[in-house]
């Protein structure tokens, strides 16, 4: 097995163009498992850890440009307040060791329907920046996932970064697992409120062949908030509305039965998570308007 | 965690002198190494000339082997041997109770994962790839996968003798009793795995005498030796076993795994052979806890006093018997719990199927039954309108009672006290106004901020036999030697009893220090150069090997004191602080001589084979008899928060009280109780090997979930020490009871929170929300 270790982004893209079947390796937390279990036997590995550029994040115009090689631990530490949805999702990933190695780019690279960053990225209207020697493509995240563990990445492309507009409203991330840590999602839900454009963002995990949004539920909730004048009044979110939103999120999923959970449970849990997440986000939005802005962070954890 | 030890004190005089005696908690010699990652486990074994062995396993739960073509595997460069059943020199049969399992499959495979062929090669990856080139042609046969149909007339036979491994009936009192209050239930327990962290590993080194030396992680060296000898066709002198570092066992290392395979390859290649399973292979490489289907009925007076109990217990033994017979024995004799029940009708059966073989696991037949009888005890309390603790106090066994096999409980049976202790422990505070996410169901997965969360409290109490039962010759052997080395007295203690992480080596040292008053105690490596220590299972080693070490020390001591008496001309002597001191009544302990003066260059050595009181077979028709040597009791109280809309559970508290007779090593006792409680909680909430049509669907720690530190709450533990007058120092086995009573308490707490019957464990979220 060849081991390609470029030290510049240009070299990395050139190497990928020359060896399209080389498997990129970032944190290795998916790749090494695949190799150790003999599920993958790539002819070459393309090491991305010597590319400082991948590990950077910065404000880029109005957006945050998050390098593909930023680990979950750093998202939590450095971007907890800036990208709260992604940070909440990152906290649910694996164990401290996995969060220290695993990257958002690697999560996208694997494109698992259970990847925890995906629902948060979907809800936040993320753009994926992919690159090759042919140039850069900007893909709306909704177009990135094409099938079970398949993405729109071309064989000569690498993921450079994700571009996320800092949220104009609260975000939430919820994940079901049958133990309280180190667990693959049975189902997951990401939620973002976009008061600037009076919109709602959603992301569903582990309940369809790919991570996906629930567009009808988004439109429904945004429209009902509009119709009831709630965007302006910031009145309480009616329980019935939250409930109906939950049902519509559920209806956007198409889960299967597997060893981790039943399809019926995945549907039921999505409905509950969506209702709760929308309510928490709306409540935070309301209190942010009347109280001081340094509200309780959405995740309460003692140090 | 708080602990307390009441009410008795140490049974032996422990006057000031050497440190690290019984009743203290000296540091374990393996502790630091394990914490720092330096401990050498069996998977770390190494020999410069070694080759690697791998196993080819059946992909089918039931199939006829039509042909095996080895040529492509043999052609792989680096391969030194490829073996099948045809290469077995001795009898191709192993098994703890029945020799029903081939070392390598012949003619037919009976479960997914059954070993079919072996490969040795100079690199493990080469061996694995060569194994994939072995062409086995199978004719797939219908598989028996529903144990509830295993005994039906039209079900295929897994073995020629039929599908029944053992049936046990227990009958007592009125054969057709009636009672004013009757409650009944059916319960199902999923297949739990021992999930030890150190996968099966060992190194077999061929010897010049034509024999083999095997270094292996195991629970019982001598029973392994016995089985290996039969397969290899060699006498015990030529099959020598040494214990390698064991990374947990819990019953999963009672049966052979790679032992014989590595020996076969070593003898064939003439080279040392290492075998080490991957995590996935480990799930196929050892037996699991029997899944169970239980049907129970209690009849009681209107005040809740039990009149009768009926139970039907079905255990899926899988493809080979392993210790299914003894597990049935426990489920039958102990399957109604620590209660006084005058009229009893129990049927327990273990059957063959083409599912994974099941055998020993911590709690051994009592775990499954406890889920059923404790759930039914709660139903009875509700039916007669009394408190769930009161019902247990009312019906709890007491010293002097007969249990359901008619055996008189002739030492402490503190059921009422234990359950009352856990009831009276302080309850955890109510959920905080603004709780930390980690204190809520779902944890940092952020599924609730309090919505839908309901608290529940549940209780359970149990008892478990200690040691091997039903007339088994359950003994252990200890060799103790006292000599002067470098001017200092040193004790060397040798037993073949396996240290599997529980702390037996420390206990052996403590006993020697206590009995011989000598501080330096060397524990000889565990091997077959001394007689059998019996199995490290059934919570028995501190009792039985501890008893053997104590007896050997006593023999050494009398021999040393006899010499001293001859030298000093007086016989009121004892050993203390490396000295011979006067045995005076006032305890002044006047020093009369140093041990060096008495021993000179001589070593005093004694070897003792020690037995506990005999047990007896039970009557095959009535199940009556003194089947067990000792009973150990424990109770748990679980407090859970359940998100009733999502079905997620947070165990808030898991508190316990247990009678241990005497805590030889109090820290080790607490460790056993904490670990056992976590394992029982795991079965209640998450641990299950999911088997569909004979195939294991989750052979990995990705999908076989065991509790993490975020799932296990801090524990309050109260240890009682009611000495058993029949046991050395009064000890009572410790390791298993916590695994038995914790799960039912957790399940009861979840029922209390949700109001759902929840008649199956592990309880999954969809069972709670009904999805
Ligand atoms: C014990 C354990 C627990 C885990 N728990 C979770 C969990 O809770 N939630 C979760 O979502 N995941 C979990 N994972 C999976 C894994 O940690 C994540 O998917 C992680 O994000 C992968 O990142 P990585 O940097 O390690 O990727 P790698 O393993 O290095 O790569 C993953 C894939 O992405 C590709 N890739 C990586 N970077 C790029 C790039 N820049 N351009 C193109 N392709 C790229 C690789 O070729 C590979 O196909 C767990 C894994 C383990 C071992």
Tell me: cis bond preceding B762? Omega within 30 of 0 counts.
yes
Enter the ipTM. Answer: 0.95
Residue in A268, A296, A298 nearest the CB of B769 = A268
Tokens of B646: 């999502």
What is the CB < 6 Å shell around ligand 1?
A: A 23-31, 33, 48, 68, 92-94, 98, 101-103, 105-107, 109-110, 115-116, 158-159, 184
pLDDT of residue A292: 43
Please list the residue range(s) of chain A that carry CATH number 3.30.465.10.
Answer: 2-111+126-164
> For the domain that residue B226 is a member of, what is the CATH number?
3.90.1170.50
Residue in A181, A182, A280 nearest the CB of B449 = A280
Overall average pLDDT of the B323-341 stretch: 98
Does a structural domain hold residue B710? yes
Final residue in a domain of this structure, among B590, B611, B632? B611
Q: Give Cα separations from B58 to A35, B37, B359 (angstroms).
A: 23, 35, 20
Of A25, A42, A181, A183, best ligand 1 pocket probe by most atoms within 8 Å of the beta carbon: A25
Does a structural domain hold residue B230? yes
- Per this entry, what is the length of chain A? 303
Residue of chain A whose Cα is closest to the Cα of B706: A179
pLDDT of residue A115: 98
Could you give the 3-state DSSP secondary structure of residue B157? coil
pLDDT confidence tier of residue B442, bands split at 50, 70 and 90: very high
CA of B41 to the centre of ligand 1 (A): 30
pLDDT of residue B2: 41
Does a structural domain hold residue B654? yes
Please list the residue range(s) of chain A that carry CATH number 3.30.390.50.
Answer: 171-302
Tell me: cis bond preceding B496? Omega within 30 of 0 counts.
no
More confident residue, B4 or B192: B192
pLDDT of residue A1: 86
pLDDT of residue B587: 64
Q: Do A175 and B447 make contact, defined as CB atoms within 8 angstroms?
A: yes
* Residue ranges, chain A, pLDDT below 50: 291-303
Interface test with B, best of A96, A173, A180 (most B CBs within 10 A): A180
pLDDT tens column, A33-88? 999 888 889 999 999 999 999 999 999 888 999 999 999 999 999 999 999 999 99
Is the same domain home to B12 and B82?
no
Is the same domain home to B388 and B370?
yes
Is the same domain home to B581 and B697?
no
CA of A110 to the centre of ligand 1 (A): 6
- Residue B234, pLDDT > 80, answer yes
**By a Cβ cutoff of 8 Å, what residues of chain A touch chain B?**
37-38, 88, 91-92, 172-184, 186, 259-262, 264-265, 267-269, 272-273, 276, 280, 296, 298-302
Is the same domain home to B34 and B48?
no
Is the same domain home to B97 and B223?
yes
pLDDT tens column, B725-742? 999 999 999 999 999 999
Is the same domain home to B459 and B495?
no
pTM of the full structure? 0.96
Interface test with A, best of B444, B453, B701, B762 (most A CBs within 10 A): B444
Distance of alpha carbon B219 from alpha carbon B223, whole angstroms: 9
Contacts of A186 in chain B (CB under 8 A): 765
Is the same domain home to B379 and B465?
yes
Overall average pLDDT of the B489-504 stretch: 97
Residue (of A206, A195, A181) closest to A273 by Cα position: A206
Distance of alpha carbon B378 from alpha carbon A167, whole angstroms: 52
User: Containing domain of residue B333, as a range?
Assistant: 292-469+617-769
Q: Do B686 and A179 make contact, defined as CB atoms within 8 angstroms?
A: yes
CA of A164 to the centre of ligand 1 (A): 20
Overall average pLDDT of the B280-297 stretch: 98
Number of A to B CB contacts under 8 A, please give it: 112
> For the domain that residue B494 is a member of, what is the CATH number?
3.30.365.10
Is the same domain home to B329 and B428?
yes
Does a structural domain hold residue B194? no
pLDDT of residue B325: 98
Interface test with B, best of A112, A179, A265, A280 (most B CBs within 10 A): A179
Q: Give Cα separations from B678 to B426, B672, B673 (angstroms).
A: 20, 10, 9
Interface test with A, best of B126, B445, B451 (most A CBs within 10 A): B445
Overall average pLDDT of the B168-192 stretch: 98
Is the same domain home to B507 and B600?
yes
**B 590-649 near A (Cβ less than 8 A):** 645-648
Residue in A38, A262, A299 nearest the CB of B446 = A299
Is the same domain home to B521 and B436?
no
Q: What angle do CA A74, A76, A78 make, to 5 degrees?
A: 60
pLDDT tens column, B63-78? 999 999 999 999 999 9
What b/e string do you get for B330-358 counting C-beta neighbours within 10 Å, with b at 16 or more?
Answer: bbbbbbbbbbbbebbbbbbbbbbbbbbbb
Residue (of A205, A189, A167, A176) closest to A245 by Cα position: A189
The fold of A2-111+126-164 is: 3.30.465
Q: Do B769 and A265 make contact, defined as CB atoms within 8 angstroms?
A: yes
Residue in B444, B709, B771 nearest the CB of A262 = B771
Q: What angle, 0 to 180 degrees and rounded to 10, lies between the N-to-C axes of helices B221-232 and B259-269? A: 50
Q: Do B702 and A184 make contact, defined as CB atoms within 8 angstroms?
A: yes
Does a structural domain hold residue B350? yes
Q: Do B444 and A91 make contact, defined as CB atoms within 8 angstroms?
A: yes
B703 touches chain A (CB under 8 A): yes
Residue of chain A whose Cα is closest to the Cα of B689: A259
CA of B555 to the centre of ligand 1 (A): 63
Is the same domain home to B18 and B48?
no
Q: Do A180 and B685 make contact, defined as CB atoms within 8 angstroms?
A: no
User: Mean pLDDT, chain B, as a whole number?
Assistant: 96
For residue A177, the ligand 1 atom closest to its alpha carbon is 8
Q: Do A180 and B710 make contact, defined as CB atoms within 8 angstroms?
A: yes
A168: Cβ contacts below 8 Å, ≥ 6 apart:
A193, A194, A195, A196, A197
Residue of chain A whose Cα is closest to the Cα of B447: A174
pLDDT of residue A288: 85
The fold of A171-302 is: Enolase-like; domain 1 (3.30.390)
CA of A119 to the centre of ligand 1 (A): 15
B449 touches chain A (CB under 8 A): yes
Instruction: Tell me the nearest-neighbour CA distance from A51 into chain B, angstroms.
Output: 30
Is the same domain home to B491 and B606?
yes
Q: Do B708 and A182 make contact, defined as CB atoms within 8 angstroms?
A: yes
Could you give the 3-state DSSP secondary structure of residue B264? helix
Quote the number of domains for chain B. Answer: 3
Distance of alpha carbon B63 from alpha carbon B113, whole angstroms: 12
Residue of chain A whose Cα is closest to the Cα of B446: A174
Can you give the three-state secondary structure of chain A, one letter per residue?
CEEECCCCHHHHHHHHHHCCCEEEECCCCCHHHHHHCCCCCCCEEEECCCCHHHHCEEEECCEEEEECCCEHHHHHHHHCCCCHHHHHHHHCCCCHHHHHHCEHHHHHHHCCCCCCHHHHHHHCCCEEEEEECCEEEEEEHHHCEEECCEECCCCCCEEEEEEECCCCCCEEEEEECCCCCCCCCCEEEEEEEEHHHCEEEEEEECCCCCCECCHHHHHHHHHHHHHCCHHHHCCCCCHHHHHHHHHHHHHHCCCCCECCECHHHHHHHHHHHHHHHHHHHHHHHHHHHHCCCCCCCCCCCCC
**B 272-291 near A (Cβ less than 8 A):** 280
Ligand 1: which residue has its CA nearest to atom 34? Answer: A109
């Amino acid at each position: 097995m060849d081991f390609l270790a470029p030290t510049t982004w240009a070299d990395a893209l050139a190497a990928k163009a020359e060896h399209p079947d080389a498997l990129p390796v970032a944190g290795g937390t998916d790749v090494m498992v695949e190799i150790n279990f003999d599920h993958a036997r790539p002819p070459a590995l393309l090491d991305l850890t010597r590319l400082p550029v991948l590990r950077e994040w910065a404000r880029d115009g109005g957006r945050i440009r998050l390098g593909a090689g930023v680990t979950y631990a750093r998202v939590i530490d450095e971007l907890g307040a800036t990208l709260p949805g992604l940070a909440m999702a990152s906290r649910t990933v694996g164990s401290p060791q996995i969060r220290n190695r695993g990257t958002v780019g690697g999560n996208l690279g694997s494109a698992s329907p259970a990847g925890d960053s995906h629902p948060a990225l979907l809800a936040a209207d993320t753009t994926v920046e992919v690159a090759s020697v042919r140039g850069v493509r900007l893909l709306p995240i909704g177009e990135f996932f094409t099938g079970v563990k398949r993405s729109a990445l071309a064989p000569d492309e690498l993921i450079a970064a994700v571009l996320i507009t800092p949220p104009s409203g609260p975000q939430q991330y919820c994940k079901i697992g049958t133990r309280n840590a180190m667990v693959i999602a049975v189902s997951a839900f990401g939620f973002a409120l976009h008061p600037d454009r009076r919109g709602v963002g959603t992301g569903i995990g582990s309940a369809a062949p790919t991570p996906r949004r629930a567009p009808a539920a988004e439109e429904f909730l945004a429209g009902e908030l509009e119709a009831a004048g709630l965007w302006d009044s910031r009145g309480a979110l009616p329980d019935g509305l939250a409930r109906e939103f939950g049902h519509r999120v559920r209806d956007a999923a198409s889960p299967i039965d597997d060893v981790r959970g039943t399809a019926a449970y995945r549907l039921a849990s999505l409905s509950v998570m969506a209702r709760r997440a929308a309510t928490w986000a709306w409540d935070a939005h309301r209190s942010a308007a009347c109280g001081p802005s340094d509200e309780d962070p959405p995740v309460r954890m003692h140090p | 965690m708080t602990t307390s030890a009441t009410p008795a004190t140490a049974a032996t005089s422990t006057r000031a002198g050497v440190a690290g005696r019984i009743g203290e908690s000296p540091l374990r010699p393996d502790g630091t190494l394990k914490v720092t990652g330096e401990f050498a486990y069996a998977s770390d074994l190494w020999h410069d000339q070694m080759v690697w062995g791998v196993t080819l396993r059946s992909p089918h739960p039931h199939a006829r082997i039509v042909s095996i073509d080895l040529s492509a595997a043999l052609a792989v460069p680096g391969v030194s041997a490829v073996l099948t059943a045809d290469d077995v020199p001795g009898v191709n049969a192993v098994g703890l109770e029945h020799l029903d399992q081939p070392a390598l499959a012949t003619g037919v495979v009976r479960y997914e994962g059954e070993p079919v062929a072996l490969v040795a090669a100079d690199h493990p990856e080469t061996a694995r790839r060569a194994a994939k080139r072995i062409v086995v042609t199978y004719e797939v046969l219908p598989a028996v996968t529903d144990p509830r149909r295993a005994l039906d007339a039209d079900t295929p036979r897994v073995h020629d003798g039929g599908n029944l491994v053992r049936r046990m009936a227990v009958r007592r009192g009125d054969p057709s009793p009636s009672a004013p209050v009757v409650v009944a239930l059916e319960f199902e327990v999923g297949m739990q795995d021992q999930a030890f962290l150190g996968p099966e590993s060992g190194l077999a080194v061929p010897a010049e005498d034509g024999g083999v030396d095997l270094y292996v992680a195991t629970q019982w060296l001598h029973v392994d030796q016995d089985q290996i000898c039969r397969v290899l066709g060699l006498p015990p002198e030529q099959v020598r076993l040494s214990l390698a570092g064991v990374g947990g066992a819990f019953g999963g290392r009672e049966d052979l795994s790679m032992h014989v395979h590595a020996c076969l390859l070593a003898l064939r290649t003439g080279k040392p052979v290492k075998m080490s399973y991957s995590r996935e292979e480990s799930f196929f490489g050892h037996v699991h806890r029997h899944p169970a289907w239980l049907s129970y009925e209690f009849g009681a007076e209107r005040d809740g006093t039990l009149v009768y109990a009926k139970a039907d217990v079905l255990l899926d033994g899988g493809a080979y018997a392993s210790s299914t017979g003894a597990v049935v024995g426990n489920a039958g004799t102990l399957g109604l719990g620590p209660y006084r029940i005058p009229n009893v009708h129990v049927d327990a059966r273990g059957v063959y199927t083409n599912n994974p073989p099941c055998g020993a696991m911590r709690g051994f037949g009592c775990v499954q039954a406890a889920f059923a009888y404790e759930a039914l005890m709660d139903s009875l309390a509700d039916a007669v309108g009394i408190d769930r603790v009161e019902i247990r106090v009312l019906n709890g066994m007491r010293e002097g009672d007969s249990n359901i096999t008619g055996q008189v409980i002739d030492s402490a049976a503190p059921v009422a006290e234990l359950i009352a202790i856990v009831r009276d422990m302080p309850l955890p505070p109510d959920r905080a106004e603004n709780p930390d996410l980690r204190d809520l169901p779902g944890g940092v997965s952020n599924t609730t901020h309090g919505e839908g969360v309901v608290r529940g409290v549940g209780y359970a109490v149990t008892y478990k036999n200690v040691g091997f039962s039903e007339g088994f010759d359950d003994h252990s052997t200890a060799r103790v030697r006292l000599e002067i080395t470098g001017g200092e007295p040193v004790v060397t203690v040798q037993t073949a009893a396996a240290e599997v992480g529980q702390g037996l080596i420390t206990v052996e040292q403590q006993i020697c220090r206590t009995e011989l008053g000598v501080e330096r105690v060397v524990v000889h490596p565990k091997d077959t150069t001394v007689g059998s220590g019996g199995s490290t299972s059934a919570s028995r080693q501190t009792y039985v090997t501890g008893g053997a070490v104590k007896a050997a020390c006593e023999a050494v001591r009398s021999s040393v004191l006899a010499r001293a008496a001859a030298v000093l001309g007086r016989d009121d002597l004892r050993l203390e602080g490396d000295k011979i001191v006067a045995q005076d009544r006032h305890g002044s302990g006047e020093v009369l001589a140093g041990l060096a003066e008495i021993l000179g260059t001589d070593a005093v050595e004694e070897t003792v084979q020690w037995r506990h009181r005999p047990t007896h077979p039970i009557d095959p028709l009535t199940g009556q008899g003194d089947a067990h040597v000792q009973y150990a009791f424990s109770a748990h109280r679980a407090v859970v928060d359940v998100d009733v809309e999502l079905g997620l559970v947070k165990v808030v508290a898991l508190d316990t009280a247990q009678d241990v007779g005497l805590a030889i090593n109090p820290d080790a006792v607490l460790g056993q109780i904490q670990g056992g409680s976590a394992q029982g909680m795991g079965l209640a909430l998450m641990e299950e090997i999911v088997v569909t049509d004979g195939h294991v669907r989750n052979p990995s720690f990705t999908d076989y979930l065991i509790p993490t530190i975020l799932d296990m709450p801090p524990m309050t533990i109260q240890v009682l020490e009611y000495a058993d007058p029949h046991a050395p120092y009064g000890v009572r086995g410790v390791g298993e009871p916590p695994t038995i009573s914790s799960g039912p308490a957790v399940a009861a707490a979840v029922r209390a929170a949700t109001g759902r019957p929840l008649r199956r464990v592990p309880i999954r979220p969809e069972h709670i929300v009904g999805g």
